[in-house]
Amino acid sequence: MKPASELMELAQARAIKKSVMVDGVECQYWFYPATTSHSSKAKNVVFVHGYRGDHHGLESFAGGLTDFNVYAPDLPGFGVSSPLKVEHTLENYITWLQGFIKTIGLEKPLSVGHSFGTLISAGLEAKEHTFSGMVFINPVAGGKVEGLSRFLMYLVKGYYWLAHVVPQKFGMSLVTTYLLVDSMSSYTTKSKDKALRNWIKMQHRQHFNSFANSQVVWESYIASISNTMAPYIHHLKVPVLLIAAELDEVTPVKAVVEMAKTMDNAVMYEISNCGHLVHYEAAAEAIEQMKLFFAGKSF
């Protein structure tokens, strides 16, 4: 199996950067065209990245899904996309995603969402029935966050609150410090491989601080911790693949298991010895499951 770093390089070799206006907001997205001999019949897949990330985080998946046309935007306020002109709530991100897909002219694409991105794509599907099939990686299924994870969630909440009420320059210095980024990287990385851990740390240093301002960081953080997929799951009528991770402390695997039991249109796959960073630590394994799912072989 290819490591995430190599898969990302393969994706970048075929990436085409594009820009589109959605409700007056400039959005940057990356198009990874299918490379197979039947590319004219390739299905379209929309990626929706997680909180504080940008399109780079899911590029490993694009590197492996060469039979598909992949569209990977930077969410408003993150990466190099402009922030929304309204508050960065979950509902406003859902509305934005709806406009993005309509603007670029996709009809019933597939979707791949990670973490906070699962909330956005699930919310849109429940509202508008936009997709033909959905993959949720480290889905925000709910469940009780306990112990150190709970303590850190409230610590970060207070830290982000402070960063958004102080003068912008100081606030940005608070949320972009490597001490914070490296701490998050260390907590979410479960691999014992020192080279991989260092590579993930550098990925986070490069891309985890790509956002418009501290207000975006605060508003979207509140959106990410205040919502779960629960209100949406019974409105999802298309096939669903849930990819959970055994050691995920951000979206506990037990909650994903319980959610899967309530869905008759979903199949779940659990990745062992992995946490919240499936796209870095187990990208190839996740890609194989996505390929099976998209081919209709998971059910």
b/e sequence 6-42, b meaning 16+ C-beta within 10 Å:
ebbebbeebbeeeeeebbebebbbbbbebeeeeeeeb
| Mean pLDDT confidence for 9-21 | 98
CB 285 within 8 A of CB 271: yes
3-state secondary structure of 152: helix
Structure confidence at residue 146 (pLDDT): 67
* Residue 152 backbone phi and psi in degrees, to 5: -65, -35
Structure confidence at residue 144 (pLDDT): 66
Measured at the CA of 269, the angle between CA 265 and CA 271, to 5 degrees, comes to: 160
Span 73-119, pLDDT tens digits: 999 999 999 999 999 999 999 999 999 999 999 999 999 999 999 99
Structure confidence at residue 37 (pLDDT): 62
Written as six digits, the tokens of 272 are: 């062992």
Whether pLDDT at 40 is above 80 = no
The neighbour count for residue 231, using CB atoms within 10 Å, is 12
Q: Which domains does the chain have, with CATH numbers?
A: 4-143+227-294 (3.40.50.1820)
Q: Which residue has the tokens 């402009």?
A: 82
Interatomic CA distance for residues 244 and 87, integer angstroms: 30
Enumerate residues 6+ apart whose C-beta is below 8 A from 161: 218
* Residue 7 backbone phi and psi in degrees, to 5: -65, -40
Span 203-219, pLDDT tens digits: 999 999 999 999 999 99
Structure confidence at residue 227 (pLDDT): 96
3-state secondary structure of 149: helix
Whether pLDDT at 36 is above 90 = no
Span 226-268, pLDDT tens digits: 999 999 999 999 999 999 999 998 889 999 999 999 999 999 9
Structure confidence at residue 147 (pLDDT): 72
The 16-22 sheet, strands edge to edge: 16-22, 25-32, 69-73, 44-48, 110-114, 133-137, 240-245, 266-271
Whether pLDDT at 39 is above 80 = no
Structure confidence at residue 243 (pLDDT): 98
Cα→Cα distances 59→13, 206, 214, 293, Å = 11, 14, 25, 19
| Mean pLDDT confidence for 162-185 | 94
The neighbour count for residue 120, using CB atoms within 10 Å, is 27
Nearest to 126 by CA among 229, 232, 227: 232
CB 240 within 8 A of CB 266: yes
| Predicted TM-score (pTM) above 0.85 | yes
- Write out the H or E segment, with its range, that includes residue 6: helix 4-13
| Share above pLDDT 70 across residues of the chain, in percent, rounded to a whole number | 97
Q: How confident is the model at residue 225 (pLDDT cuts 50, 70, 90)?
A: very high
Span 138-173, pLDDT tens digits: 999 987 666 767 778 888 999 999 999 999 999 999
Span 54-81, pLDDT tens digits: 999 999 999 999 999 999 999 999 999 9
